Amino acid sequence: MFKEILREKEGYFLISHIIAMIFGLAGLLLVLPNPEFIGSLPPIGQSAFSWSMIGGGVIYMILGWATIAIYAYRQLGTFYWLTFMIPALGISLTSELLGTSTGFPFGAYHYLSGLGYKISGLVPFTIPLSWFYLGFSSYLIARVGLNKLAIHSLLKDFGAIIFGALLLTSWDFVLDPAMSQTSVPFWLWDQPGEFFGMPYQNFAGWFGTGTIFMIIATIFWRIKPLDFEKISLTIPAGVYIGNFGFAMIMSIGAGFYIPIFLGILLGILPLIVFLWLANQHNSKEDNSTPETLASVSQ
DSSP 192-217: --TBTTB-THHHHHHHHHHHHHHHHH
DSSP of 50-75, one letter per residue? HHHHHHHHHHHHHHHHHHHHHHHHHH
Q: How confident is the model at residue 43 (pLDDT cuts 50, 70, 90)?
A: confident
Count how many domains the chain has. 1
Is residue 116 predicted with pLDDT exceeding 60? yes
pTM of the model: 0.89
Domain around 9: 2-297
187-213: average pLDDT? 93
Residue 160 has pLDDT above 50, yes or no: yes
